[in-house]
Amino acid sequence: MTDPILSVRDLAIAYRTGRKESVTAVSGVDLDLYEGQSLALVGESGCGKTTLGLGLLRLLPGLGEITSGSLTYRLKDGRRADLLKMKKEQLRRFRWNEAAMVFQGAMNAFNPVIRIVDHFADTLRDHSDGKQRWTKAEVEARAGELLETVRLDPDRVLQSYPHELSGGMKQRALIALAIALDPQVLVLDEPTTALDLLTQRSIVQQLHELRKKFGFTMVFITHDLGLAAELADRVATMYAGRIIETGSARDIFYAPKHPYTAGLINAVMPVKGERPALESIPGYPPSLKAMPDGCAFNPRCAFATAECKQDRVPLELLTDRPLAMHHSVACLHHDQVILRRKENANV
């Protein structure tokens, strides 16, 4: 567990918004992902979760670009690769074969005029390492096996068009497609958001089973803390494009040290125990075009002092545990932060 599969240092991502204008959506991100871990990336809408997730796989849309930092991966063969130096062809093989993504809004991620089996054929042929040709029979066998793993009936699903499947079936099929080439890392962006509660539960259960079976490392993007608590070994909280706290699920849900993380937890109703009055976080996240000086959370923070308005606050290591299990926070007054709600039955 000493050599992370994925290492991100000081990563910044910007979107071009005009001929000479751009906004920085993610900045100063340091992140290590260790083999077999499941990391939840949490935070309010617009904080940069999807942007970071896409950046990790160099899948940013045309107007988005990584403007600084480093991004390295340990490939399946053990070599360390600099993802920012990879050329088009290397990237094509890297994606889906080494690391795959289930996109946000996945319900629309399938091409509506292509049958499910042909989505598998395209992914297997376009992204494999070239050692296998993927004949029609091989594609059908692999796709069938994967669909069964996510409890879909291949006889019904393979020849279907996407609109013939329910939302939950589509989501399962997308997860099966993402793991078709046995990637080491799977990034899932809000994979259960549009689904009813029972279907959500079943997808979560499936993800547990798939991880056990295939052993992939997972980045799970969500604004649902309950899901994060259930699926994650580690949690990273994002605010205004930065990671402002990271720790084990236990650290984050029982002893958060950033006022924003504590605020998020206090804003969620526990499912057992007393029903406390929920607290909301006052104000709104800042606009990317008008970031406050110093700690970006300072206009909303009950602990803010003049010092908080001066310089950017870096992540500080709070524990002397091995790095894979550290707790870090970007707050000058973290020693004053105590979770008001002790009962957190979601964890």
Contact residues toward ligand SF4 (CB under 6 A) are 258-259, 295, 297-298, 301, 303-304, 308, 313, 331-333
Cβ 330 vs Cβ 238: under 8 Å: no
* Paired sense of beta strands 38-42 and 234-239, if any: parallel
Show the tokens assigned to 218. Answer: 């997972």
Does position 18 bind ligand ATP by CB under 6 A?
no
No. of H helices and E strands in the chain? Answer: 10, 12
Q: Which is nearer to ligand ATP, 104 or 237 (CB)?
A: 104
**What element of type H or E holds 50?**
helix 49-56
CA distance 322 to 316: 15
What does DSSP say about strands 38-42 and 80-82: parallel, antiparallel, or unpaired?
A: unpaired
> Under the criterion CB under 6 A, does residue 27 sit at the interface with ligand ATP?
no
Q: Judged by CB under 6 A, does residue 104 bind ligand ATP?
A: yes
Note whether 108 binds ligand ATP by CB under 6 A: no
Near ligand ATP by CB under 6 A: residue from 18, 45, 274, 320? 45
In the complex, minimum distance from the CB of residue 236 to Mg ion, in angstroms, rounded to a whole number: 14
DSSP 189-219: ESTTTTS-HHHHHHHHHHHHHHHHHH--EEE
Q: Choose which of 7, 27, 37, 51 interacts with ligand ATP (CB under 6 A).
A: 51
Whether the Cβ atoms of residue 340 and residue 266 lie closer than 8 Å to each other = yes
Q: Which helix (H) or strand (E) holds 51?
A: helix 49-56
Q: How far is the CB of 237 from ligand ATP (least distance, A)?
A: 11
Task: Give the interface with Mg ion as residue ranges (CB under 5 A).
Answer: 50, 104
Q: What is the nearest approach in angstroms of ligand SF4 to the Cβ of residue 240?
A: 11
Instruction: Tell me which stretch binds ligand ATP (CB under 6 A): 40-48, 167-175, 249-257, 273-281.
Output: 40-48
Q: Cβ closer to Mg ion: 13 or 181?
A: 13
Q: Which residues ranging from 193 to 232 are in contact with ligand ATP (CB under 6 A)?
A: 223
- E strand intervals along 137-283: 185-189, 217-222, 234-239, 242-248
CA distance 85 to 70: 10
Site size with ligand ATP, rule: CB under 6 A: 18
Least separation in angstroms between CB 48 and Mg ion: 8
Query: What does 61 interact with, of Mg ion, ligand SF4, ligand ATP, none (CB < 5 to 8 A by kind)?
Result: ligand ATP
Q: Which amino acid is at 338?
A: I
Q: Does 130 bind ligand ATP (CB under 6 A)?
A: no
Sign of torsion, CA 328 331 332 335?
Answer: negative
Q: How many CA atoms lie within 13 A of 113 on its CB side?
A: 0
CB under 5 to 8 A by kind: which of Mg ion, ligand SF4, ligand ATP, none does 17 bind?
ligand ATP
Q: Which CB atom, from 196 or from 311, has the smaller least distance to ligand SF4?
A: 311
Please report how close the Cβ of residue 105 comes to ligand ATP at its closest, in angstroms.
Answer: 9
Applying CB under 6 A, which of residues 12, 33, 47, 339 lies at the interface with ligand ATP? 47
Q: Which does 295 bind (CB under 5 to 8 A by kind): ligand ATP, Mg ion, ligand SF4, none?
A: ligand SF4
Tokens read off for 328: 């870090």
Of ligand ATP, ligand SF4, Mg ion, none, which one does residue 73 interact with (CB within 5 to 8 Å by kind)?
none
Give the C-alpha separation, 288 to 286, whole Å: 6
Taking the C-alpha atoms of residue 223 and residue 109, their distance in angstroms, rounded to an integer, is 20
List interacting residues with ligand ATP (CB under 6 A).
15, 17, 23, 25, 43, 45-51, 61, 63-64, 104, 223, 288
